[in-house]
Structure 1
């Protein structure tokens, strides 16, 4: 059983595959997979050798380099390890060597691009040990955990370095984009050195004229004092989106954190306070109005939330009602404190609560996309039981995960890498 190379002519490779069948289908399938992996190793070896030079002198950055002869090197592929003899070049005076084959093949560390793509994609969703188990169990590919981590960090480094220069195109959308909602939020993750810190997510969501979300761009960033790097990355994405959709209305949507609005006010035409954060404060008013009547609290809260969402001027009317109510000295200390917090919140944000107008224009009024991103981009991967992170490792995972979760970007990244290569040392 196995595979063998029958012939190679130009760009065509002919391989014969032999499989020993069994009365057990599972055993036969495992034999098929093993033979196909062997065929894959033969074909990949031929593909790598095809991309090597013929040994002639080459010129790099104005300097002539000559081959030192063919030297063996092991490469990791989706089908297993292959060892090939390839030309290694060096200047006449010595110094750093160069391998044209590795540049032409887009080798990452010692991995072929497809294997690097597979490994890093899997690591975006699960731990290195989970990836190791999956590769061994489902692909017959035993791989060390340390290698999985190295490859994925290398891919993440390319993503980060190329972020400024590589522009990603949104998927083909049938509907015209009428509005773009921009949000940012934070959630805590556990770092080895500094304990629990706030990591950040940013979302840029495209909506049609009927308020249906068509596409979302995700950005994730590890904890950072001042959030300077994260905000610069988000600004770049906003600038690219505005260049692509100049006719759209840009809407900032977030909770009441002042730092959110300091950023969003600079980049959006409309500002919308998340409806669910606003409505949550009405609970304190309901308790102040009906301290001992739970049913009446619920009824008033339901009516007031409906009023806030559907009626023009509702936020101002509710603010005036709770302000008057707060002047009473009949309430307990706890009720007074909760009511004061609601008054302050509405006083600061009622100009961002014209939900009837927003809904008539089909703007989103909830920051659920951004809050969900905190879970999907960060929590589901970086906050599993027992996980603690070093900054470098967490940054790599977030770079991978944001790219994988943003529709079509993962494939676009690999197409660009395949087309342009990368000039960074890994």
Structure 2
């Protein structure tokens, strides 16, 4: 058997050597069983190896974290004098589990009962005092993917992040609290480093709304509360959240990349639109040839928000279109009324769709046919499909030249924002029984938007980055 000598500093031997020996022993036993052609439980070996690896990882963290501490009667941090007020052991949370670390606590000189600091947390950039930055980043990522219960289960199956669901909830929102107040600055950095693909020919911006279940206080009924009545009654109500997208398209109008945004109902939709406009400005600074297209449904609120940001002075010519499929959606029931039944309406609707795609005068022609049908006030249930189609095509006259957009090879559909409403909000925030408060909902929504936009690692790198304090050890007294 070959002998390999690994030199380990004396200070690290009590920490590193036992875990390293356990790892080697586990591998050696498995190798011998394999060479002897005995029956092996390889799944069990995988578990043992992972446990031994985690033990080595924790030992490494313990040694590295302990080295960040400074135990002195007094010191200055970036020119501010602090005095030591205590020393105790705290568990720092790593992806492989918690590790105990001795640390000294300091308080500003001259302050009584002021906030204490410790150099292990300050220098490591730990979140919420004890969660190491990459650990917090991973836990926040699992939280934006699904509820904390599922995050805990996923971590258990993977054999990493051995923490409770309440920890995932707490740490995930702690990361959100760090990101959300700084998100506009971080978004500027992200878009500043974004490389516009060479094949990009246009950029489309879309805005839409989607319902979110919210938790709101319910007024107590007058009089004496009934027995076992909740002390703080709440209602589960649905409010409208906002989703926005910036999508780059190639010369055929096909999507290349989408940046996604969202905000909760009580948050600032105007700020969301400012982010959309800022991204387009940054892209066109590098690629002035990019055509700009605004794509939405017919809701006046959406257009008012976008028009306030996308002015001709800043962007030059801005193309504006009602989403093609929303227009078709309005025509479909009208075609049924005019043709008489579902089957007979299909050729009529197909002809209208073809006309919209290929003729700039399509809107006027279709509007004429709707008027000429004489069925404007025919009622189906509680609606008047032909009248509603006439109203839609009249109110959006300036945003329906799909043929001109196609001639310029621009996109005509807002499917990216429709999909974003489902993936950003629907799949995560509208689960059975779920309900949200505005602030915590914003944490999850913004972090999820980063993940869906392939910006997670870059954004978290900025969010969790720390500037280590300048440390000078000096004796001082309180």
TM-score of the two chains, using structure 1 as the length reference? 0.88
In structure 2, the partner of 1:325 is 373
What's the offset of the Cα at 1:200?
1.4
Q: Which moved more, 1:257-266 or 1:334-343?
A: 334-343
- Matched with 2:299 is 257
Give the Cα separation in 2 of the matches to 1:130 and 1:189.
20
1:121 to 135, 141, 145: 141
Whole-angstrom CA distance in 2 between matches of 1:411 and 1:32:
28
State whether structure 2 residue 208 is matched by structure 1 residue 185.
Answer: yes
Q: What are the residue-to-residue correspondences of 1:106-145 with 2, within 5 Å?
A: 106-109=125-128, 110-139=130-159, 141-145=161-165
Q: Does 1:308 align with 2:356?
A: yes
Shift in CA distance, 283/417, structure 1 to aligned 2, threshold 3 Å: closer
Partner of 2:226: none
Alignment match of 1:84 (pick from 97, 101, 108): 101
Q: Distance in 1 between matches of 2:406 and 2:282?
A: 26
Number of residues of Structure 1 aligned to a counterpart in Structure 2 = 412
* Cα distance in 1, alignment partners of residues 269 and 338 from structure 2: 43
Contact 1:34-1:140 at 8 Å conserved across structures: no
Q: Are the counterparts in 2 of residues 177 and 245 from structure 1 also a CA contact under 8 Å? A: no
Contact preservation (8 Å) 1:183, 1:367: yes
Aligned to 2:414: 367
Looking at CA atoms only, which structure, 1 or 2, has the larger radius of gyration?
A: 2
Structure 1 ranges of 4+ moved more than 6 A: 9-14
Query: 279-288 or 378-387: which moved more?
Result: 279-288
Q: Could you tell me which residue of structure 2 aligns to residue 339 of structure 1?
A: 386
**2:380 aligned counterpart, secondary structure:** helix
Distance in 2 separating the partners of 1:267 and 1:85: 53
Q: Residues 277-311 of structure 1, C-alpha deviation per residue, up to 9 Å, x if partnerless? A: 101222243234322x5443211111111111122
Q: Deviations over 1:233-277 (max 9, x none)?
A: 331342243133241222210101010111122334111100011
* Contact 1:185 1:254 (C-alpha < 8 Å) held by counterparts: yes
Alpha-carbon distance change, 184 to 99 in structure 1, aligned in 2, over 3 angstroms: same
Structure 2 counterpart of 1:24, from 27, 41, 52: 41
Give the SS at the match of 2:256.
Answer: strand
1:141 Cα deviation from its structure 2 partner: 4.4
Q: Distance in 1 between matches of 2:297 and 2:320?
A: 11
Distance in structure 2 (CA, Å) of the matches to 1:421 and 1:398: 27
Structure 2: which 5+ runs fail to align?
A: 1-5, 31-39, 217-234, 311-317, 470-478
d(CA) in 2 for partners of 1:7, 1:417 = 35
Contact 2:358 2:402 (C-alpha < 8 Å) held by counterparts: yes
Stretch of structure 1 that moved more, 95-104 or 332-341: 332-341
Tell me, yes or no, if the aligned pair for 1:17 and 1:39 is still in contact at 8 Å.
Answer: no
Q: Note the residue ranges of structure 1 that are not aligned, 5 or more in a row.
A: none
Aligned partners of 2:11, 2:183: CA distance in 1, in Å? 37
Gap change, CA 1:217 and 1:421, over 3 Å in 2: farther
Q: Of the candidates 462, 467, 475, which is equivalent to residue 416 of structure 1? A: 462
Distance 1:35 1:241 in 2: 50
How far 1:10 moved relative to its partner? 11
In 1, Cα distance between the equivalents of 2:323 and 2:10? Answer: 64
Given that residues 265 and 271 in structure 1 are in contact (C-alpha distance below 8 angstroms), is that contact kept between their aligned partners in structure 2?
Answer: no
